[in-house]
Amino acid sequence: MAVVMAPFTPFFAEYLYQQLRKRLIAFTSVSAAPDTVGKADSVHYVMLPQADSSKLDDGVVMGMNLLQRVVELGRRAREAANISMKTPVKEVMVVCGDVRALSAIQGQLESYVLEELNAWGVSFTSDVDTWCSVSALPNLPILAKRLGKKMSIATAIIKNLDSTALRNYSKVGELNIDVDGLSLKLVAGDLIVKSTFAGDEKKYAAMTTLDGALTVAISTVQDDTLRRQAIARDVCNRVNKLRKKAKLNIADKVDVFFADLDLAENTNGFISTAAALASNKPLLDKARIVPIPYANCCGQVIISDTSRTAFGSKRLKIALAAPALSLSPTIKKRHEEDAVIQTLIASCALHRKESLQGTLSGTAFNLDVGADIFLSATAAYLAM
């Protein structure tokens, strides 16, 4: 393992090698070759092992090859339909006549298709006749020399060939047709065979390989559920970009705030950011992001950004702020007309204190940390 890792993690691989080589017989062997594992003074002096093709799992290799082609075609289909990778699609359909290849990608590799194409579901089918139509054109530079004046008749016959005959031609490489009484044998290269997706173009965008062996179609039907997830993904993406721009470390905790700045300008069909985030909590939990309405911001803003979302607000503000002491919703409501106590709380440093006691306008108060006061706006928001 250390030898294989060496080109990619040279120092760590060297450390592993130096610790492990002492336990190998070759380390103390006088007759061992200088580039033998263990005898070599450095892991970088050891030649990489030759691959043993007999140990290859044909199913895994076949599945990975198909996976790469599916992802490539799926992304091209997205581009053709002008659907951003940030926007999920309901379904990806993989049409392939090779049953063995389909069985190799189904199961463990399906999750990679979903992740790489940002899809909710994927279906596989070998029913090429139903989902793909095949047509052919004559390869004029080759056939024109053989047919001469009969070329126009042959072209009409070739264009009317059925899918079964053309698929058989693609597999076998031979096809016999009758051109005005002349028996013509077509061989590989005489025809240009093209396979196209036969599904509903209003619901799918599809791409097919040049040989017609594989077709990948993505659903282009968009609904509010998909749009809400696209907004939530956009928020997560923008938060990560702001963290990077502010040069924050992964361990640095911040409060995340958002605000739709154009509510009065929106018409029917507008999806608020709050609604989009509320319906995609698992996505936010996975990204470890807790977006809070900007009205709750009481910390020092570190960095902010305002831009539009794909399906929601024309001007969505995202801000990252340093965590500050925050009142619970109940206490905040109780003192909503008295900004003094909120300012007092925000300016306090509790350190190890478990409560904050005092008198304000002749009224005594006793606020407990973890119940009435929280160390960040995020903690206060989660306690709602």
Q: pLDDT tens digit string along 178-214? A: 887 778 888 888 888 888 888 888 999 999 987 778 9
Task: Give the pLDDT confidence score for residue 183 in this predicted structure.
Answer: 81
Task: Give the pLDDT confidence score for residue 19 in this predicted structure.
Answer: 94
Instruction: Dump pLDDT digits (tens) for 36-50.
Output: 999 999 999 999 888
Task: Give the pLDDT confidence score for residue 102 in this predicted structure.
Answer: 92
Global pTM value: 0.67
Do the Cβ atoms of 136 and 167 come closer than 8 Å? no
Which of 103-107, 316-320, 373-377 has the least mean pLDDT? 373-377
Phi, psi for residue 211 in degrees, rounded to 5: -85, 0
Instruction: Specify the CATH architecture of the domain 224-321.
Output: 2-Layer Sandwich (3.30)
Task: Give the pLDDT confidence score for residue 345 in this predicted structure.
Answer: 60
Instruction: For residue 360, give Cα distances in angstroms to 226, 324, 338, 351, 372.
Output: 50, 21, 10, 22, 16
Instruction: For residue 129, give Cα distances in angstroms to 81, 97, 163, 310, 346.
Output: 24, 9, 8, 37, 69
Phi, psi for residue 36 in degrees, rounded to 5: -75, 145
Task: Give the pLDDT confidence score for residue 320 in this predicted structure.
Answer: 95
Read off the pLDDT of each residue in 234-240 and give the average, rounded to a whole number.
93
Do the Cβ atoms of 316 and 258 come closer than 8 Å? yes
Name the band, by pLDDT with cuts 50, 70 and 90, for residue 105.
Answer: very high
| Residue type at 313 in one-letter notation | S
* Domain boundaries, given as residue ranges, for the chain: 2-50, 53-222, 224-321, 326-382
Instruction: Dump pLDDT digits (tens) for 74-96.
Output: 999 999 999 988 889 999 999 99
Name the band, by pLDDT with cuts 50, 70 and 90, for residue 129.
Answer: confident
pLDDT of 268 over the 80 cut: no
Task: Give the pLDDT confidence score for residue 87 in this predicted structure.
Answer: 86
